[in-house]
Structure 1
């Protein structure tokens, strides 16, 4: 609230350095390809995009991200039992199991 009153970001009020802060991700939930593309464009400026996977369109959604940006991707696959995307299929790390969350620097 104080930041709003004095028109300053929280990090300035706390005396922090944003360059030393942990990287945060922009999360994109399961949606249509059109909405997904819009969300990827909204994520401009974020250093990581996190996507929720678990549908038949996973490969297409990763390709949408890569058509707009090359930032690392975190995968949230905790809603499915197993996700396997071969490295040759799309520029993404592979993995399986609940709670799999891994960045790729493709």
Structure 2
């Protein structure tokens, strides 16, 4: 049975899905955009292919985590999501410091 996810879990899950589907449909999308946020985001993770795989992994981990009530698994999934979301946030804050 699915448990009730927290709001931040839903946000990270859908953001990871957004990035996954966007890069699956257009693998070179971020290289076409002349925007420092996306360049910084890809530079932090190495390449757009690794960004696709990391985002897909995070989405799958959260999907599995939605169907479990084991605290250790939820902790592991949320830790992975925290670091993923931290990378996203740091990329935005480094490129747009007036947002912080």
TM range (shorter): under 0.3
Question: Larger relative contact order (C-alpha < 8 A, sep ≥ 6)?
Answer: 2
Q: Which has the larger radius of gyration?
A: 1
Select the structure that is richer in helix: 2
TM-score normalised by length of structure 2 = 0.25
Select the structure that is richer in strand: 1
